[in-house]
Structure 1
C-alpha cells in the first residue's frame, strides 16, 4: 500500500496542506463557534472537487459536534436553537440534492459568494431589544439547512441571527454550535443516502480528525481568555477575510 492510499488519495504535500487548513478552521471554530465550513470549504475546494469539499466539511462538523457538547447544551439558547435546528435538519436534504446537480464551477462561485455574504449580514441592523419570534427562527433554520446541504455552510443565516442581538459570547457561541451539530447530522445522513458521500470521504475525514480535535480544543482555551469586544471583532475579521480570500482564490 502506497502513501496516496493511506492518505486518502492525497500526496504527502497536498495532505499536509489540507491538514493545515483543517487545523486552522478548527481553531477558529473553537474560538468563535463557527468558521469550520466558511473557511474550509472554499479553500479545500481548490484541492478537491467542490462536492467532496462540502461532504468532508459536513462529516468534520459531525465529528466535531460531541467535543464540549455538555457545556454547549448548558450555555445555548434552546428556545431559538431548537426550532432553528429542527427546520434546518428538514431543509438539508434538498440542499444536498441541489449540490449534486450543480456544475463544479458554478458551485465554487456560489460557495465563495456565500462565504462573503456571511460577513455582510453582520451589518444588517437588528431591532433594538427584539427577541426573534418562531417565524424568524424557522426561516433562519430553513436557510441554514439549504446552505448546509449545498455548501456545508449553515453559518451565513445563523451567525447574524445571534451576533446582531448582542448576546453574551458564551450564549451566542453555544447556540450556534448546537445548530451546526444538528445540521451536520442531517447533512451526513442525506449525503450518504443520496450517494454524494462514500466510505472514501469518511476515511479522509477521519484522517483529519486529530487536527480537528486539537484545533477545536485550543480554540476553546483561547475563548475563555478573550474579552467580549475582542471576540466580536475577531468574528467580523474572520468572516471578512474568509469571504475575500475565497473570491480572490476563485478568480486567481
Structure 2
C-alpha cells in the first residue's frame, strides 16, 4: 500500500499542519501574512523549495473562494499594475530559490520577514498617488520576493495602506493580487521543477488545515475591530520569524 506521507514523519506533519492552520487563520482574517508565518518555520525543517512550492499550491487552491467577494470591492486600477510587475519579476526570485544555498536562503528569508515586518509596524505609508509606474515597481519587488520566499505581501500592504482605503478594500486588493499573481509564480516554479512528490505528500495533510484556518479567519474578520486586525497578524509574523532564526536551532530544534 502506498504511503502518501512517506516524505515526512508524523511529528513533522503535525507541526507543519499546525503552522499552516495558524497561517490560514491570519490569511483569512487579515488578507495577508500566511507566507510570512509558514515559510520561515517550514524552511527551518524542510527544503525551502518544498516549503515554497507547497505553500503556493495550497494558497492558490484553497484561497480561491475568497476572490468571489473581493473582486466586487477591490481597486482594480491599482491591483492590475502590481500584478503585472509581479508576474514579470517572479522569475528572478524563482531562479534565486533554485540556485542559492539552503542556509543562506533561511537567513535571507529571516531578513526579509523581519525587515518588512518592521516596515509595516513603523507606520510608514506611501503617501503619493498610486500611479501605474509606481504600482508596477511595487509589484516587481513583490514578484522577486514571491519567487524566492513566497513572502510578497509587506511591500504591497505598505503601498496600499495610504490612509485613504478602509481595511476591507485593502484586504480585497490583497486577495485579488495573490490570486492573479500566483499564476505567474506557478509557471516559474513549474519551469524550475519545484513541484516534486514531496510537495504533494505534504499537500494531503496541509490543505484541510489551511482551509479550516481560512474559514475561521474570515469569520473573525467580519466581527473584528478594524483598528486591531493588523496587529494580530503582525504579532504572529514576528513570533514565526524569531523562532525560525537559524542561530536559534540549537535551542529550538
Given that residues 83 and 138 in structure 1 are in contact (C-alpha distance below 8 angstroms), is that contact kept between their aligned partners in structure 2? yes
What stretches of structure 1 move > 6 A for 4+ residues in a row? Answer: none
Segments of 5+ residues of structure 1 without an aligned counterpart are: none
Segments of 5+ residues of structure 2 without an aligned counterpart are: none
1:102 is aligned to 100
Give the distance between the partners of 1:105 and 1:35, measured in 2 at CA. 23
Written as runs of structure 1 = structure 2, the 5 A alignment for 1:111-126 is 111-122=109-120, 123=122, 125-126=124-125
Q: SS state of the match for residue 229, structure 1?
A: coil
1:90 is aligned to 88
Cα 1:236–1:14 change in 2 (3 A) is closer
Written as runs of structure 1 = structure 2, the 5 A alignment for 1:120-199 is 120-122=118-120, 123=122, 125-126=124-125, 128=127, 130-165=128-163, 167-199=165-197
Given that residues 116 and 242 in structure 1 are in contact (C-alpha distance below 8 angstroms), is that contact kept between their aligned partners in structure 2? no
Question: How far off its partner does 1:183 sit?
Answer: 2.6
Number of positions where the alignment pairs a residue of Structure 1 with one of Structure 2: 249
Question: How far off its partner does 1:212 sit?
Answer: 1.1
Higher RCO, 1 vs 2 (CA within 8 Å, ≥6 residues apart): 2
2:11 aligned to which of 5, 13, 32: 13
Deviations 1:194-243 (A, max 9, x none): 21222441342243111111110100000000011121332433343333
Question: How far off its partner does 1:167 sit?
Answer: 2.1
Question: How far off its partner does 1:166 sit?
Answer: 5.2
1:41 lines up with 2:42 in the alignment: no
Given that residues 145 and 154 in structure 1 are in contact (C-alpha distance below 8 angstroms), is that contact kept between their aligned partners in structure 2? yes
Q: SS state of the match for residue 224, structure 1?
A: helix
1:202 is aligned to 200
Give the distance between the partners of 2:191 and 2:168, measured in 1 at CA. 35
1:66 aligned to which of 64, 67, 84: 64
Give the distance between the partners of 2:89 and 2:69, measured in 1 at CA. 27
RMSD (Å), alpha carbons:
2.0
Q: SS state of the match for residue 139, structure 1?
A: helix
Cα 1:113–1:155 change in 2 (3 A) is same
Given that residues 32 and 174 in structure 2 are in contact (C-alpha distance below 8 angstroms), is that contact kept between their aligned partners in structure 1? yes
Written as runs of structure 1 = structure 2, the 5 A alignment for 1:211-226 is 211-226=209-224
